[in-house]
Every structure is written in structure tokens, then in C-alpha cells.
Structure 1
């Protein structure tokens, strides 16, 4: 059978296993968390949030939520979700069973990695839809906020979310590889948290350009700099993030070729 068949079947199997797991529902809850907070805030504090006449309230409403999620929630979520997806296999000793099946080891690894990245993309999509729904509900409850008077300006929020997603792929690759290699759930989780906090601390430094755990903030921060171009869908940190993702994907492939699961 050809490699495409093995890869497709692996992705299908991993997607079926993911359904109704804690990791899946964590993704949904995480996507709804910030929009729910902003919905409550706007409903309760609407008097101080009434926009100026002729002002479209959507961009501020959506961009503020993206920025609120970007600093800590998104990286921490990625670390937790990648660790959880692999931990299910380690905990039940299913990894040993998977590697005993007459299927290529690489298809197991890349199938899980693809589903992990897909789940994170799904979370971004749900987050975007939840922001729109929250704004529409707020506008229906408090018409003076003018949410129903204007159409959302999708370009900047979508660009921010796209840049953020590409920028975190490097973290996905690293954390997935760590979680695959280390059976103990706490170790890759702890390493990831320390590196995320480090990224938040140093992202303004010039050296952070080479530190993938700072890329999420760099991808969003640069779009708000005075004079910074907001036309780029792929800034330099996005390209570097893709590079890290590919490097650790290849490293994982080389690892599983010699890995002896016990």
C-alpha cells in the first residue's frame, strides 16, 4: 500500500480517537473562554463602552480579544493540548500496541501530529466564530453599542489569527516531539511552561527572533508597531516558526525509526 493511504488512515483513526476526549472539549472551552468574558464585560459595562458616533465597534472588540488570548492563553493551551493527546497513548500503554501493528511508524507519528495541528486550527476557527457571536449578542442586548449597525471588518482580525497560528507551529512541533519522547506528562508540560514564560519575558529583545516560544507575541506585536506593515500574512517570524516545525517533525521521524517502545 502507498504512503498516502497509510497517512490518511492514520489521520482518520486519530481524529476518531480524539472525538469526545478531554482534549477535544478543552479545545472548545478554550476557544469560548475569552469571548464569553468579553460578552459579560460588555453587557455589564456597556455604558462606558458606547462608541463614538460613526465608529465601527467591531475591530476593537475583536482585536482586544485576540491580544488578550495571545500572550499566555494560546501558548499554554498548545502545550497542554499536545501533551494531553500523546499522554492518552502513554497512559494506556497504547503506544506499544500502535508500534506493533503492521503499519509504518512514521504514519503513527505524522498522523498524530497532523491531528494535533488540526485541533489547534479548529480552536482558532471556533474562537473567531465565538467572537462574532458574542458581538452580535451584545449588540442585540444593547443596541446603543452599534454592533448591529455595522458589518465586522474581518481583514485585521483574520490576519492576526492567521499570523498567530503560523507563529505557534514551532511550539507545536517542539512540544509534540517532547511529549512523544517523554512518557511523564509533567516533564514536557513543565518545560513548555518555563519556555513560554521566558518567551513573554524576552520577546522585546532582539535575540527573541531566534526563540520560537516568543514568536506568537512577535507576530502580533509587530502588526501594532507604528509604521509596521500590516499587509504581510507571513512575517519573518512565521517563516522561522514553519522552519522549526519542519525541523522537529523531521527529528521526530528520525527518532521513531530507531525508537523501541517499552
Structure 2
């Protein structure tokens, strides 16, 4: 089974390496952190007054704010769709499941390739934030990024965002398998994401039970209210919204295999 899984995973890479889903994992973090770099650089005179930790928070919140709101859910939805769209467009599901590879290996490889793209995107966000932050201290010495090390905290933050998106990934992955067209899974996911942002941003007490609210909820749970930005980070990775996200991811992933196994062989 492991050999079949690895072959299927490799196949997913070759099929998607020229798609927007794959390159989005690289371009999206580079673009957003690049814009954050330009923004902070252009405001360096005012921002130079901040303490080093405040600079890091100000800089990283540009990426975190955009990802924790709509970008992370939307990218997750798009990745889940793009991994399966190749088979839908070419109508190769029957051929794929007729190969001498277990259906579990094929299904698992597709899912974990989608997870890999999501992981790659957020890992690059953390890497580019660290790299561009340190670069700012070189090109603008007045910005004393080099006097405070925030690498661990940034890795923890993006790791939590990754965990918070897994529930969305599993749900959208299943929907994109069941529906071949673009509009149904993407449209439903977009509406649910907007609803999730509204619920989480308005502090609805049960928003942690709604998977599409988890990225925004994860970000808000790391920020203290009514405090200065330089003192605002409070990183608690395994909060209740993350546990719900993980539970939803596992349950939907397993249930999805049995649902798709019956549908795909007809």
C-alpha cells in the first residue's frame, strides 16, 4: 500500500506542477510578504519609533491578517478543488481506480497532496516573513528587526493556522470529489467562508463549532484585546477551535473515502 501511495503522490505532483493551485502556494506568500516589505519600508520613518517586537508584530500582521480572514479559507478551497479537477476534466476517475493500486492509496495520496500544498504555502509564509523582516533591518538600519527574534512565534502562528484549515480542507476535498463542476464546491465554500469570518469576528460563542470560522478564530485567539501591538501575541496553539478542526478533518476524511469509493466505481 505504501508503494502505491508514494506512486500516486508523485503522480499528483506531475499532474499539478503547472497548475495555479501549485504555483499559488509559492506566489501567494511571496506576493503578500513582498507587499508587506514595501509597505513597512515606505513607512520606515514612522515605524522606526516602535520597539523591535512591535516592528515584527506590525510587519507580520499584514500577512496574518490577510490569511486569517479570507485568503486562507479561499486558498484551501481552491487547492481542494484543483487536486481533483484534472480527473474531472479528463473523465479519468474510472481509469484511476482500475489501476493495480488500492483505492485507499489513491484517495489518501490525493488528500495528502492537497495538504502538502497547504503546508507549503504556510511554511513559505513563515519563511518569507522571517527573511523579509531581517532584510528590512539591513536595508533600513533604523528598523531594528535584528534586535528581536520572533522566528519561533511566527512558526507557531502559521502552524496553528495550518491546523485550523484542516477541517475546511477535508470538507472541500470531499465536495470537489462529488461535484465535477467548479461553481458548486467553490461557491458553497466561499459563502461558508464569509459566514465564518462574520461569526468569528463578531465573537459568537459557538463559532468554534463551524469549521470555516476556524482560521479567523485561530488568529483572534492569539491576540489580546485592547493592548498595544507589541504586547499582543499570546500563542496557544491547541485551542478548542483547533481541536474541532482536527476532529472534523479526520471524520470527514474517513467518511469521504467510503462515500467516494461507492460513487467512483459506478
What is the TM-score normalised by the length of structure 2?
Answer: 0.89
Which of 59, 62, 70 is residue 61 of structure 1 equivalent to?
59
Equivalence for 1:249 = 253
Q: Does the alignment pair 1:5 with 2:9?
A: no
Equivalence for 1:158 = 155
Unaligned runs of 5+ in 1: none
RMSD: 2.2
Cα distance in structure 1, aligned partners of 2:86 and 2:69: 27
Shift of the alpha carbon at 1:261?
Answer: 5.1
Distance 1:53 1:234, change over 3 A: closer
Unaligned runs of 5+ in 2: none
Instruction: Give aligned pairs, total.
Output: 259
Equivalence for 1:220 = 219
Cα distance in structure 2, aligned partners of 1:246 and 1:219: 19
Distance 1:43 1:102, change over 3 A: same
Instruction: Give yes or no for contact 1:56–1:146 (8 Å, CA) kept in 2.
Output: no
For 1:203-214, what aligned pairs fall within 5 Å after superposition?
203=200, 204-214=203-213
Instruction: Give yes or no for contact 1:59–1:157 (8 Å, CA) kept in 2.
Output: no
Shift of the alpha carbon at 1:166?
Answer: 0.4
Cα distance in structure 1, aligned partners of 2:167 and 2:90: 28
Single out whichever of 72-81 and 229-238 deviates more from structure 2: 229-238
Equivalence for 1:175 = 172
Instruction: Give yes or no for contact 1:179–1:188 (8 Å, CA) kept in 2.
Output: yes
Shift of the alpha carbon at 1:134?
Answer: 1.8
For 1:27-38, what aligned pairs fall within 5 Å after superposition?
27-38=25-36
Secondary structure at 1:131 match in 2: helix
Cα distance in structure 1, aligned partners of 2:59 and 2:191: 31
For 1:14-163, what aligned pairs fall within 5 Å after superposition?
14-52=12-50, 57-147=55-145, 149-163=146-160
Secondary structure at 2:206 match in 1: helix
Cα distance in structure 1, aligned partners of 2:214 and 2:52: 36
Distance 1:168 1:136, change over 3 A: same
Cα distance in structure 1, aligned partners of 2:36 and 2:136: 9
Shift of the alpha carbon at 1:124?
Answer: 0.7
Secondary structure at 1:233 match in 2: coil
Cα distance in structure 2, aligned partners of 1:186 and 1:217: 24
